[in-house]
Amino acid sequence: MKEKWMSRLAAGISIVAGMSLFGWSVKQVSTGQSTWPEGLQAPLRAFVGFLDVFEAAREEVSALPETFVKTPEDFQPVNTLDEDVVVLTSFHNAEDTRTVALLNLRTGETLKTWTIAQLAVPQDRIVHSIMLPDSSLIYGLDWYSGLIRIDKNSQRIWHQDSIIHHHGKNLAADSTLWACSYEKEAGKPLYYRPVFKTGMGRFPYLDNHITQIHAYTGEVLFHKSLTEILMENGLTHVLVKSETPGDPIHVNDIEPVLHDGPYFKRGDLFISARNGSWIMHYRPATGKVIRMLEGPFYSQHDVDIESDSTLTVFNNNCLQNERPTPSKWPMSEQAFDVGSFSSQAVRIYLNRPGFDVLDRSVWEANEIFSFTEGIVDHLPGGGYFVEEQNSSVLWVIKDGQVRYKNVLPSHHPGYHHLANWARVMP
């Protein structure tokens, strides 16, 4: 029995010694200190390289790009649509490029796709693309690429890179489109140019521009600073109303008027400014601001013309800057509960004072909320589509009921695609 025990001990010591020798050898090779022959060093370097690759792969899986959103384990989709709802959206595909897709939400069918390969970083987004009647597509990588038109086979037709575009873009009635943009200077992706002064000091800030581009040629037809518009119309006081002095305007959508009506003219624009929480009715033909529309909506997105006398917006209904709980301040034992604040679909009346909140109870019961971005688009058959962007949940609400609720499932189990300003197609 003693000899058997001694034999096992010797074997264990040999194994430990072998592992120590192997570990020491790996360390010597990985630090470049080994004097062993190359024939012995090569396998050890391969072993070290395998571990590096394995660790990199593990980290890649555990830290997905922000173009993917974790799907709640208890998420329950809803689909009781009785009419097709077709949307144009984009997502981060399995080949690590981007797909723009025409999807039927009712059937789950993919009707057409385009592939976009020009990417710089994993978080690149294609937001609010435009599909023309010939199935060509106008898109841009938000914030830096400018606008690009590709044909139905994803081949480039033109590239307008004289501007920095962002957020919403919409077709006008004259084969042009309007895009939110910034002025571009060589070597400067974004720069602070205008300055306003108060008793507190000087505040350099980001200016915003509105840009009109011919949809079929890419030619810039109109490009104007929002600061210039405010100055020309005696409205610079709105700059000090923002919680974000470095970015007090932040235009996120431009809605062109397609026909004359009692409260607007064809060619007019409704311009949504998130950080100002206002909507400007602007007439490019004369350079005049017809009216400024404010409250009760805050940090809003996606202004749409609903009828000849009404607009709708996605009211984010939130503070523009998140604030921590004031833990260092004394708190009273008595507090007032002023209620919760979901996001909202707000109807704005042009023919009279007043606003309506659409289906308030439905939004509150389902806790629909997006701190940034968000879409509300009315549907041809009644009801409206909602993109709750931060959680990336898509909704259709009709007759006071949720008729559709779902996400775009991705190739990563347990995650769905980040929403990128889906556009409802007629």
The mean per-residue pLDDT over the stretch 317-330 comes to 74
What is the predicted pLDDT for the residue at 5?
53
Distances (CA, A) of 88 to 34, 201, 319: 59, 45, 30
Q: pLDDT, tens digit, for every residue of 415-424? A: 999 999 999 9
The mean per-residue pLDDT over the stretch 283-297 comes to 96
Distances (CA, A) of 182 to 43, 144, 189, 262: 54, 10, 9, 32
356 vs 144, higher pLDDT: 356
Q: Please, are residues 319 and 243 in contact by the beta-carbon 8 Å criterion?
A: yes
How high does pLDDT run on average in the chain? 88
Q: pLDDT, tens digit, for every residue of 39-80? A: 555 665 555 554 454 454 444 445 799 999 999 999 999 999
Residue 28 has pLDDT above 70, yes or no: no
Residue 271 has pLDDT above 60, yes or no: yes
Residue 83 has pLDDT above 90, yes or no: yes
- Predicted confidence band at 189 (pLDDT cuts at 50, 70, 90)? confident
What is the predicted pLDDT for the residue at 119?
74
Residue 9 has pLDDT above 70, yes or no: no
Residues 249/346/388/179 CA torsion (nearest 10 deg) = -40
The mean per-residue pLDDT over the stretch 10-19 comes to 54
The mean per-residue pLDDT over the stretch 281-307 comes to 97
Cα separation, 378 vs 124, in Å, equals 28
Q: pLDDT, tens digit, for every residue of 205-256? A: 999 999 999 999 999 999 999 999 999 999 999 999 888 889 999 999 999 9
Q: Please, are residues 89 and 408 in contact by the beta-carbon 8 Å criterion?
A: yes
